[in-house]
Chain A
Amino acid sequence: MSTLEVTTAKVTNLNDGTTTVATTFVTNGSAKAWLKVTKSSDTINDSFSVTSITDTATGKTTVNSAVTFGNTNGSLLGTNNQSSTALGVYVNWSSTTAWVVFTKDSGGSFVDHDWSSVIHGDLA
């Protein structure tokens, strides 16, 4: 087995020996932005394609994306990083460059908790 190293290769299709798929199949299926946040200290633990977060209030954070999306119809997901099952995480697009993450307790009140979020969608 030899290894070919290139910095940039223009490839239309990928083949694993049995199946051929277009490279766009891979790029379109990749998460376009994601991050994990410790809310108590507003620390971004790890991330991709994000410029900043804005802590706007208890349980409310805006995520600012490094890339602009083609629309606000992409799949936007959020989840808590806690063991509690009584914590809700809600996410909403606020524009094609930002989305908002809300964390609430079982009573529906905003509360600070750690969370993760990810976007799949088309880039502008």
Chain B
Amino acid sequence: MTHGHLWDRLAEAKTRLKPVQSKYRVLFEDPNAPDEPAKVLVPDPNWMACALEGGILPPIETYQRDRDVPDGQPKEHPYAAPIPAMTEEEAIEYLIMKDIPPNVWRDYEGNRCIMRIVPVELIPSDRSFRNAWKINQETEMAA
């Protein structure tokens, strides 16, 4: 049985799944650009609904292997067999591995905390000093 293309599965899922706004954000800093402000990853609510539903998204390993496949060449992840449902926490880990560079979550060996999963409430609502945001090294506060 074919699983069809990932894009087709996403299109079908959008017709029946209610979006899920995640209660988490991922704060991270680029170790190669220490002067840049902290970045905030926001999960997509329709994608999160697919992650929690199961049977739609491909294994994260297929995305990772596809990074080494040159553009224009066939990719593995669109037609890979879908994985079962994830918890919201597992879905966040999946997103980190897919959408955040490996030099942040895998390769960094410094002492500074450069990535943190935080509740939405810890993200400052005042964006006046957005370009000065850094991950607080002393407490569990977001910035």
| Chain A interfacial positions (CB closer than 8 Å to B) | 8, 32, 35, 40-44, 46-58, 64, 66-68, 70-72, 96, 98, 112, 123-124
Contact = CB atoms under 8 A, between A and B. Distances in A.
A28 B21 CA distance: 30
A52 B4 CA distance: 23
Interface residues of B, number: 39
Given A47-B44, A67-B7, A52 B95 contact: yes
Contacts of A51: 43-44, 47, 95, 98-99
- Name the residue among B6, B40, B99, B123 with the largest chain A CB count within 10 angstroms: B99
Contacts, number: 101
Given A32-B7, A48-B11, A58-B130, A124 B44 contact: no
A123 B78 contact: yes
Contacts of B7: 32, 49, 66-67, 123
A58 B131 contact: yes
A58 B4 contact: no
6 contacts: A46-B46, A47-B44, A51-B43, A52-B42, A66-B44, A124-B75
B4 A8 contact: yes
Contact of B47 (A50, A54, A112, A123): A50
Contacts of A8: 4
A48 B10 contact: yes
Interface of B: 4-7, 10-11, 14, 19, 21, 25, 36-37, 39-47, 57, 66, 71-75, 77-78, 95, 98-100, 123, 125, 127, 130-131
A54 B41 contact: yes
A24 to B, nearest CB: 12
Given A54-B99, A112-B130, A67 B43 contact: no
Contacts of A112: 127, 130
B40 A55 contact: yes
B81 to A, nearest CB: 16
B27 to A, nearest CB: 10
A67 B6 CA distance: 7
Given A67-B7, A124-B78, A57 B37 contact: yes
A76 B39 CA distance: 23
Given A50-B44, A56-B37, 9 more contacts: A47-B44, A47-B47, A51-B44, A52-B41, A52-B43, A67-B6, A68-B66, A98-B99, A112-B130
